[in-house]
Amino acid sequence: MKEDTPYLEIEGGFELSGEVRVSGAKNAVLPVLAATLLVPGIYRLARVPRLLDLYTMLELLEYLGASFRWEEDLLVVDTQRVEGWEAPYALVSRMRGSILVLGALTARFGRARVAKPGGCPIGPRPVDLHTRGLALMGARVEDQNEIWVEAPQGLRGAEIVLDFPSVTATENLLMAAVRARGRSRIVNAAREPEVEFLGRFLEAMGAKIRGLGTGVLEIEGGRELTPPSEPVTIIPDRIETGTYLMLAGLCGGEITVAGTEPQYLEAPLLKLREAGLEVEWEADRVYARATGPLRPLKVVTAPYPGFPTDLQAQIMVLLTQAHGISRITENLFKERFRHVPELQRMGADIEQEGGIAFVRGPTPLRAAEVKAHDLRAGASLVLAALAAEGVSRVYGLEHLDRGYEALEEKLRALGARIRRRREESFAAGRPSWAARGG
């Protein structure tokens, strides 16, 4: 059997300059798609990024009975015939975000079953905050190999305090609360822009929510909900924005990111300035360029508005070029450092102890064959390969493709030499004498 392993071939060491337009945010479209399960109807979404994770979510919706079609750039989702309430392992194991259907299915059908995914490349991903919140809303919960939630009488409003402002737990509980009877309060809610956007989407469906964008959400449940009358446009991807901005420091040119919302990127933008990049922004665009040597940083990942964990791997690459020792503390996913050994193979001087990495720079990066073990690690390896002189190969594209739309095209427009290739596996490509057993 012929087996192909795709990889990116990247010839690095060239200056990159120009403008890149960001796509809609992966982590905004996923919860909104889950929210289409709340009430049967036809939903129209604009600026939907065509990503592997998007298609996995659409597959899950189809499995539950929904259908979808593209009307040019508009994604039209029809949930009128949804009857399913179970998310199978095959889909959940491909994408953790599948957990987002838990709240909406429970709210709509009074029950839900979501398989529990196995290990995750960025460390443990418990869902106790999701299930405890639903239990407080009156559901019976079993959390073993799969998550069973039952609320035959429907959910009722509740006061819930989250031990940690989890993004998807807040989203699940928000979706559940808009259909629950009575008022709910979610205290220590996640404040990420994607959570706020889901709230706005629910408001466009008729929900009443106070405190969006703050840590306390108040929801008046049980109001009549209908699909938004107008198409809803997905907000720009702030992580994609931040990823491209790193290039200004790594490849020496001037990078403009267009179609973005800089107000949601303050922590990363200010950190880039602190590192010595010239960074300016206006309504919907950000400019960045390097004007001198980079300075080392202390970076601590934290829930929004802190520095996002989803940019930790990318800024680590940038800091390999800073003059001095940087310290990166990963607080959200303590094992999210699988890019470190790969970056070390490219010449980076990084020491990792538990959830902290020390990066000593500057070290010239050299081309190598490396493998992405998760999405953002993949982005960091692409950045490193673009900065390294010579030809690198980045494997593990099944991770990168989950979250970066048209990555190669966008980078090529900035002048990058990057191509997607396929490699025959050793077994498939072995010489004929080997096949004959000789």
Contact residues toward ligand EPU (CB under 6 A) are 26-27, 30, 96-97, 124-130, 164, 166-169, 308-310, 332-333, 375-376, 403
Encoded amino acid at 161, one letter: V
Any known ligand binding at 126?
yes
Q: Nearer Cβ to ligand EPU, position 29 or 368?
A: 29
Residue 251 annotated in active site: no
Residue among 120, 187, 204, 391 flagged as catalytic: 120
Any known ligand binding at 128?
yes
Any known ligand binding at 129?
yes
363-368 long-range Cβ contacts below 8 angstroms, 24+ apart: 363/320, 363/321, 364/388, 364/389, 365/12, 365/317, 365/320, 365/389, 366/390, 367/12, 367/391, 367/392, 368/342, 368/392, 368/393
Q: Nearer Cβ to ligand EPU, position 156 or 402?
A: 402
Q: Please tell me the distance from the alpha carbon of residue 8 to that of residue 275, in angstroms, as a whole number.
A: 29
DSSP per-residue letters across 302-370: -STTSB-GGGHHHHHHHHTTBSEEEEEE--S-TT--THHHHHHHTT-EEEEETTEEEEEE----B--EE
Any known ligand binding at 310?
yes
Any known ligand binding at 298?
no
Please report how close the Cβ of residue 1 comes to ligand EPU at its closest, in angstroms: 32
Please report how close the Cβ of residue 159 comes to ligand EPU at its closest, in angstroms: 18
Any known ligand binding at 382?
no
- Quickly count: other Cβ atoms within 10 Å of residue 283's Cβ: 8
Any known ligand binding at 127?
yes
Please report how close the Cβ of residue 163 comes to ligand EPU at its closest, in angstroms: 7
Please report how close the Cβ of residue 187 comes to ligand EPU at its closest, in angstroms: 15
Q: Nearer Cβ to ligand EPU, position 94 or 376?
A: 376
Q: Which phi and psi (to 5°) does residue 274 adopt?
A: -60, -30
Angle subtended by helix axes 167-179 and 193-204, to nearest 10: 20
Element (H, E) at 243: helix 238-251
SS3 of 67-90: the string is EEEEECCEEEEECCCCCCCEECHH
Q: Nearer Cβ to ligand EPU, position 256 or 312?
A: 312
Residues near 244 by beta carbon (within 8 Å), at least 6 away in sequence: 20, 22, 255, 257, 410, 414
Pairing state between β 183-187 and 159-161: parallel
Please report how close the Cβ of residue 358 comes to ligand EPU at its closest, in angstroms: 22
Closest to 60 measured CA to CA, from 106, 36, 91? 91
Half-sphere exposure of 16 (CA within 13 A, CB side): 31
Q: Nearer Cβ to ligand EPU, position 111 or 125?
A: 125
Please report how close the Cβ of residue 174 comes to ligand EPU at its closest, in angstroms: 12
Query: Given the structure tokens 């953002």, which residue do they identify?
Result: 376
Q: Nearer Cβ to ligand EPU, position 259 or 306?
A: 306
Residues at the binding site for phosphoenolpyruvate are: 26-27
Residues at the binding site for UDP-N-acetyl-alpha-D-glucosamine are: 96, 125-129, 310, 332
Q: Which residues are catalytic?
A: 120
Residues at the binding site are: 26-27, 96, 125-129, 310, 332
